[in-house]
Amino acid sequence: MGQKILVLEDLAAVQKEVRALRRAGKSIGFVPTMGYLHEGHISLIHLARRHTDHVFASIFVNPAQFNNPKDLESYPRDIPRDLAMLESANTYALFMPTPEWMYGPNFETWVNLDKLPLPHEGAHRPGHFRGVSTVVTMLFNVVQPDVAVFGEKDFQQLRIIERMVDDLKFPIQIVRGPLVRESDGLAMSSRNVRLSAEARSRALGISRGLSAALDAYKGGQRTAKELCAIVRHHLSQPGITIEYVELAEEKTLQPVERAGHEPTRMLVAAVVGGVRLIDNMALPPGLR
């Protein structure tokens, strides 16, 4: 068991701890989450600890980034379990604001990006990234970290945060956390708990399809049409609805016709047994 975690529920409590750490010359890392933690989240905590002296986490199921009310209502929650996991990872403090505090009755200020939110997730979840960028801005203003860690599993989100921090001149270093998979290859997600045994078996088609596309890329295949077709083949089974399978340039997230020159990502979203899952795979440039 790690150190006893501080649970902070308001701005004054967070500011008190941050000021004390600053006076002591300590650096602060930050990992924002929506709770129902898994080993992917904990890997981000460990990564933040390697870069800073003390790590703050937050748990806030952000209503502004759910375009489907039923999805918000069904999002899994287990705060006692989350606290135990964070303590085991030696997290210094946990900030748990309420929706009422984050979004008061007169709230009307939003953070929007022009281009990065439009494709992929943005096309299927209108308003989602406006909610993400706004809540992350608020959390950054409260915690004021030196370093914040975001996972590559939500790759479009990661790129949006990187762009926002650069554009708005936040004095924060964004560190990328590698995507973490279950032993069977399924990308770790808080939503996985909602998969039935049958749906989980079918969901493995996502990671298998991405791995097959990477193998084809390593073997010399470069066209987006063929690489995406490989992934779609693995997802063409009953119980799976494909939302998108796309090859995109990492920096701009714009679709490309060929891989190999710039860093690209295979991006996938599919609904399996009623559960929406996303995944991605890097196709590094310069492979022969």
Q: In tens digits, what is the pLDDT along the chain, a chain of 288 residues?
A: 456 999 999 999 999 999 999 999 999 999 999 999 999 999 999 999 999 999 999 999 999 999 888 888 889 999 999 999 999 999 999 999 999 999 999 999 999 999 999 999 999 999 999 999 999 999 999 999 999 999 999 999 999 999 999 999 999 999 999 999 999 999 999 999 999 999 999 999 999 999 999 999 999 999 999 999 999 999 999 999 999 999 999 999 999 999 988 999 999 999 999 999 999 999 999 766
Rounded to an integer, what distance in angstroms lies between the CA atom of residue 84 and that of residue 94?
A: 12
At 76, list the tokens.
């899994």
CA torsion 184→188→192→196, rounded to 10°?
0
Measured between its terminal Cα atoms, the distance across the chain in Å is: 47
264-272 and 275-283: which strand pairing?
A: antiparallel
Fold of 190-281: Pantoate--beta-alanine Ligase; Chain: A,domain 2 (3.30.1300)
Phi, psi of 245 (to 5 degrees): -135, 110
Q: Do domains 6-177 and 190-281 have the same CATH topology?
A: no
Tell whether the torsion through CA atoms of 237, 229, 227 and 278 is positive or negative.
negative
Q: Looking at residue 74, what is its pLDDT?
A: 86
**Number of C-alpha atoms within 13 angstroms, CB side, residue 29?**
21
| pTM for the full predicted model | 0.95
Give the start-to-end residue ranges of the domains of the chain: 6-177, 190-281
Residue 257 identity? E
From 180, 5, 8, select the one nearest 86 (Cα to Cα): 5
Q: Looking at residue 278, what is its pLDDT?
A: 98
Rounded to an integer, what distance in angstroms lies between the CA atom of residue 29 and that of residue 165?
A: 15
Residue positions annotated with a catalytic role: 41
Instruction: For residue 97, count CB atoms less than 10 angstroms from its CB and return exposed for 0-12, middle for 13-18, buried for 19 or more.
Output: buried
Fold of 6-177: Rossmann fold (3.40.50)
